[in-house]
């Protein structure tokens, strides 16, 4: 009989713990210290959206800072409600994205887990992940009185037409001009090529790490991927990121050789859709593990490397228009269902768990249609959990627990 209390689940025990975690924390701590002390070291800081093109910033030696990554930290530190309420007091709607609310509140109060983000010298906003970022970054630009560059990526219904590719490409060069102006020096294209090659290498390694979950039992779960994703978002295109994922991949392969499962006694393999519920990752991980279920993959952490087939590392800049426009939530449901089908087959998933995320409208819109498509076409059971990535007020534990238990009962029967 499975342990419904989750007490005997030993995912936290030493032999199951991923050792690279400490190295990751070390790198991220160093990164935030560098960002916080950028001014003293004569470096520029740019705030950038999570799906934005960071590589030109790295090539220009600018420190990229991610309000969304910060939002995830706020969520994981369970500081979301206070900060969201603060933003609501300022007049922002409670329907606004909780990353945006938490981040705007942090900018004003210097609150949150790291006492606020370092002030930006300029902002880079790419709308391939949502439309909210446009207004959010305008608010930030007004607050700090700094320039804002907007990269507009058209939504992809079926394919990206040549004209659309050119439209984005023109903006990539405008982006580089913008950076040259902000930094007061020219772009070194040799350096840019180098960064492009490193970015692709990092993405390939990250995908390889995620692919180790095809092994049964899986050495890694989506809950781990949520954490280890950090560097592929923030420091893509750097050697430190490449080295980190090499180490992580080695560790995963070692776990496979030693037959170490992330969920001991793994019986059910599930796919997760949408952002994590940052303040409840542990609870959810234990809950699924108590049913011998491992979330082996997710559409979120694979979004960055999902565009790898569209990138030519030797023509990195030229292929940026395609790779940055075709990210998972900037594509149609027909394209999404194909991705889901690929993932369900690749990871041999028994079920799909969808987080209907009150904050992330573009990710959550149409989930019921996708759910229906998955059940009709792919014939696997699905579960929708209604919550929010940062704002805990939208998480109802007993309701969610009943849904997960009932879903697992259906899967087991």
Partner 1 sequence: MSDPKITAGIDIGSITAKAVVMRDGNILGTRVRFTGYNAKKAGQDVLDGLLSEIGLMPNEVATVVSTGYGRNAVDFADKAITEITCHGAGAWFINPEIRFVIDVGGQDSKVIRLDNNGKVVDFAMNDKCAAGTGRFLEVMARALEMDLEAFGDLSLAGTPAKISSICTVFAESEVVSLIAKGETRENIIAGIHESVASRISAMARRIGIVLPIMMTGGVAKNKGILQAMEKKLGAPIVVSGYAQVNGALGAAILAGRM
Contact 370, 339 (CB under 8 A): no
The three-state secondary structure class of 17 is coil
Q: How far is the CB of 409 from partner 1 (least distance, A)?
A: 5
Does 116 bind partner 1 (CB under 8 A)? Our answer is no
Name the residue nearer to partner 1 (CB basis): 177 or 369.
Answer: 369
Contacting range for partner 1; rule: CB under 8 A; set: 81-89, 156-164, 213-221, 405-413:
405-413
Contacting range for partner 1; rule: CB under 8 A; set: 144-152, 275-283, 335-343, 399-407:
399-407
The three-state secondary structure class of 382 is strand
Does 413 bind partner 1 (CB under 8 A)? Our answer is yes
Nearest to 246 by CA among 23, 3, 14, 89: 23
For residues 318 and 339, what is the distance between their CA atoms, to the nearest angstrom?
A: 24
Among 1, 95, 158, 257, binds partner 1 (CB under 8 A): 1
Q: How far is the CB of 364 from partner 1 (least distance, A)?
A: 13
Does 365 bind partner 1 (CB under 8 A)? Our answer is no
Alpha helices in 212-332 (DSSP H): 222-228, 230-234, 239-257, 281-289, 316-325
Which phi and psi angles does 9 have, rounded to 5°?
-75, 125
Q: How far is the CB of 74 from partner 1 (least distance, A)?
A: 22
Radius of gyration of the CA atoms of the chain, in A? 21
Q: How far is the CB of 382 from partner 1 (least distance, A)?
A: 8
Nearest to 131 by CA among 405, 361, 366, 364: 361
Among 34, 88, 211, 405, binds partner 1 (CB under 8 A): 405
Q: How far is the CB of 344 from partner 1 (least distance, A)?
A: 17
Contact 353, 385 (CB under 8 A): yes
Among 36, 287, 355, 394, binds partner 1 (CB under 8 A): 394
HSE-CB at 65 with a 13 A cutoff on CA atoms is: 27
Per-residue binding letters, 315-354, with partner 1 (x by CB under 8 A): ----------------------------------------
Nearest to 158 by CA among 6, 4, 325, 302: 325
Query: Interface residues for partner 1 in 2-61 (CB under 8 A)?
Result: 4
Q: Which residue has the tokens 């692709």?
A: 200
Name the residue nearer to partner 1 (CB basis): 113 or 381.
Answer: 381
For partner 1, the binding residues (CB under 8 A) are 1, 4, 368, 375, 381, 386, 394, 396, 398-399, 402-403, 405-406, 409-410, 413
């Amino acid at each position: 009989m499975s342990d419904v209390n989750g007490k005997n689940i030993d995912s936290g025990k030493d032999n199951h713990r991923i050792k690279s975690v400490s190295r990751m924390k070390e790198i991220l701590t160093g990164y935030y210290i560098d960002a916080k002390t950028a001014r003293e070291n004569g470096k520029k800081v740019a705030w950038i959206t999570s799906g934005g093109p960071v590589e030109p910033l790295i090539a220009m030696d600018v420190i990229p800072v991610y309000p969304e990554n910060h939002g995830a930290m706020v969520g994981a530190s369970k500081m979301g409600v206070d900060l969201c309420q603060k933003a609501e007091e300022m007049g922002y709607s409670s329907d606004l994205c909780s990353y945006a609310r938490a981040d705007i509140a942090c900018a004003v109060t210097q609150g949150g887990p790291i006492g606020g983000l370092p002030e930006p010298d300029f902002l880079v906003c790419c709308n391939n992940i949502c439309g909210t970022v446009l207004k959010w970054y305008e608010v930030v630009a007004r607050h700090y009185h700094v320039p804002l560059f907007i990269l507009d990526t058209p939504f992809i219904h079926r394919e990206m037409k040549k004209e659309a590719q050119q439209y984005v490409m023109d903006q990539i060069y405008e982006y580089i001009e913008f950076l040259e102006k902000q930094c007061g020096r020219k772009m070194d294209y040799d350096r840019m090529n180098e960064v492009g090659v490193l970015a692709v290498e990092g993405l390939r390694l990250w995908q390889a790490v995620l692919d180790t979950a095809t092994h049964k039992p899986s050495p890694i779960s989506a809950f781990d991927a949520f954490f280890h994703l950090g560097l592929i978002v923030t420091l893509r295109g750097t050697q430190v990121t490449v080295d980190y994922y090499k180490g992580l991949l080695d560790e995963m392969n070692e776990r496979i050789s030693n037959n170490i499962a992330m969920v001991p006694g793994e019986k059910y393999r599930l796919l997760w859709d949408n952002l994590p519920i940052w303040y409840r990752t542990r609870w959810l991980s234990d809950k699924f593990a108590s049913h011998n279920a491992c979330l082996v993959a997710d559409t979120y952490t694979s979004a960055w490397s999902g565009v790898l087939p569209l990138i030519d590392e030797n023509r990195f800049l030229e292929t940026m228009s395609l790779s940055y426009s075709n990210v998972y939530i900037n594509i149609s449901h027909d394209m999404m269902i194909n991705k889901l089908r690929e993932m369900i087959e690749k990871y041999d998933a028994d079920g799909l768990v969808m987080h209907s995320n009150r904050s992330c409208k573009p990710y959550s819109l149409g989930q019921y249609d996708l759910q229906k498509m998955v059940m009709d076409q792919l014939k696997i059971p699905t579960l929708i959990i209604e919550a929010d990535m940062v704002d805990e007020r939208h998480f109802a534990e007993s309701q969610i627990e009943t849904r997960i238990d009932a879903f697992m009962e259906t899967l087991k029967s």
